Chains A and B, each alone.
Chain A
Amino acid sequence: MGYFMSETPAINPIITMQRLARLHLTPEESISLGQDLAKVLSWVGQLEGVCVRGMPESQQPAMALRQDSVTEGDQVSLVLGNAPCPKDSFFTVPKVLKS
């Protein structure tokens, strides 16, 4: 499975959405959450009729910048303390390349 960020949702978007969100759904969940998604999208669609001419495109809260530097380093055991399967000083994941 590759990346899907450029995909456009299909007529029934639930399949595409669960792939984009990396979210496994059971067949039952796909049906019920698909129905919910359709209902909510229909409801939020009421914004379509709002005239927003002249409004800026995006809004971010005022954010202070700070130095991009290490503030608390060399804490391997703390960082790995909650990892599901740590090994030595590393997080581990299933093998990506098969031997």
Chain B
Amino acid sequence: MSPLLKLSLDQVLIGLQSKAFSATELTQSYLDQIQRTRGHNAYITVTTERALQDAKRSDARWSNGTAGPLEGIPIAVKDAYCTQNILTTAASKMLHNFIPPYESHVTQNLAQAGAVLLGKTNLDEFCMGSTTTPVHTGPTLNPWDVSCTAGGSSGGSAAAIANGSALLALGTDTGGSVRQPAAFCGVVGVKPSYGRCSRWGVVAFASSLDTPGPFARSVKDAALLLNVMAGYDKKDATSLNHPVPDFTRRIGQSLVGKKIGIPKEWFENAQMDPEILDLWKKGQELFEKNGCEIVHVSLPYSSYALPCYYILACAEAASNLQRYDGVKYGFRAKNIENLEDMYCQTRGQGFGPEVKRRILLGTYVLSHGYYDAYYNKAQKVRHMIQHDFRQVFQQVDVLLPPTTPTPAFALKASVSDPVAMYWNDVLTVPVNVGNVCAISVPAGLSNTGLPLGLQLIAPSLAEDRLFQFGHIIESNTSMPDLPF
């Protein structure tokens, strides 16, 4: 294995600048590592030729003094981002042959910054799930223990960071799909503020919740990646036209006198594993030692975030996924009788079981006679949850819950009861419904050696607090090296 794989982002940038090694050598090292770790099934598509072309151009830009902020940095991209002329499947049979004619805004930003695209990573079909076990492309294995889930839906990107087959990676977070796999794979994952990063060119799941987010080995690397991802995009009507700060600017600043909120309802309701409760307690002690005050706060309606989320996300998914009808792109069923049959058979054969489950629920909650009782009610509850967060952030700087209620669980233990499976998202979903931002930082190991994550939550547009506080967890935790 190449020693280049062990270098941090800072070290790589210094090495490239000083010509200690070339972007081509670095890229080839990562492409070799992808092949060595194929068994984890982190990637759906490896873009070898494109990566080497990108790297060659990066070497030229390092030589002629026009290098961008991520020049020559090998990056993996969740296969939910449209990449021009590169297969983009969303891990679905429905898009098994889809070659986008355009590039997503975020991946375009990365390309302009000089990043090298290594490939497209595995995910739960259409980002729906918490285990990265799509029927079409198979499960991603957790590099720490291949019998365990990598988490999801961005499990391929999290696993690619953990197994050393990417230095940085992109995910999307609709209800925890960056933070939960980051926690399970022992890496850093960020759910930025909604609208901070453009959704243009990202395969839509639940449009009012979908948020592009970064994965990295360290808090600082994640901040540097978000610096490039973020920014206004007129093609996304919900993109925030708000200045993008340098997200690293507060890293290393003192936390003396800052207030850390502990949501009491989450402690009572989340049915957490004792190991996670212990981790949470140690996290509180860590911040106290660094001069922070622990404040127990109440978010009374956040207990309803999970059912609220599943109503709203499924309603939006049912609407968004109507476009997959076999007419304009993607899969079309054969041996069909008429137009209606083509729609029904295409969708019946093209979607996997979890996508079907969510389309059916979404259709139900939007249907005549049930719209008010479910969809409208959930919208109102969402207002109340957001009000809870606004109130709490008048008292504290950040909230500190764990990221997940349990460590990564065995792949074969993935339960068939959907409600039981949805409970995995109980600590991450309130962030999306509450319109705030959050980070998951590795903070310890379970008794069986699996990584555990602590989450920090800040108000919308206060991501720099996440990196400031997250750095404290990182620098006060002795995590083992990633498993590669």
Contact = CB atoms under 8 A, between A and B. Distances in A.
Q: Do A and B bind each other?
A: yes
Interface of A: 1, 5-9, 13-14, 16-18, 20-26, 29, 33, 36-37, 39-41, 43-44, 46-48, 50, 52, 55-66, 75, 78-79, 81-85, 91, 93-96
Contacts of A39: 417-419
A8 B368 contact: yes
Given A58-B376, A79-B101, A43 B307 contact: yes
Contacts of B378: 44, 47
B338 A96 contact: yes
B343 A82 contact: no
A56 B365 CA distance: 18
B356 A48 contact: no
Interface of B is mostly: helix
Interface stretch (B35-43, B61-69, B124-132, B321-329): B321-329
A94 B383 contact: no
Interface in B318-367: 318, 322, 325-332, 336-345, 347-349, 351, 353, 356-357, 359-361, 363-365, 367
Contacts of A16: 367
B383 A59 contact: yes
A9 to B, nearest CB: 6
Contacts of B272: none
27 contacts: A7-B368, A8-B368, A9-B369, A9-B370, A14-B360, A21-B318, A21-B347, A23-B348, A24-B348, A25-B356, A26-B348, A29-B356, A33-B357, A36-B418, A37-B364, A39-B417, A40-B419, A44-B374, A46-B304, A47-B308, A52-B381, A57-B376, A57-B379, A64-B239, A64-B241, A82-B101, A82-B328
The list of the 8 closest CB pairs from A to B, nearest first, reads A24-B348, A82-B329, A84-B332, A52-B380, A55-B380, A24-B344, A44-B307, A63-B237
A40 B311 CA distance: 10
B321 to A, nearest CB: 9
Contact of A24 (B328, B349, B382): B349
A1 B340 contact: yes
Main secondary structure of the interface of A (DSSP, over half): loop
B409 interface: no
Interface string B389-432: 00000000000000000000000000001110010000000000
Nearest to B360: A17
A85 B101 contact: no
B367 A8 contact: yes
Contacts of A75: 101
Interface residues of B, number: 70
Nearest to A60: B208
A41 B353 CA distance: 17
B361 A41 contact: yes
Given A5-B368, A66-B234, A23 B359 contact: yes
B372 to A, nearest CB: 9
Contacts of A79: 101
Contact of A96 (B208, B339, B367): B339
B301 interface: yes
Nearest to A37: B360
A56 B101 contact: no
B266 interface: no
Contacts of A66: 234, 237
B195 A64 contact: no
Contact of A50 (B339, B364, B381): B381
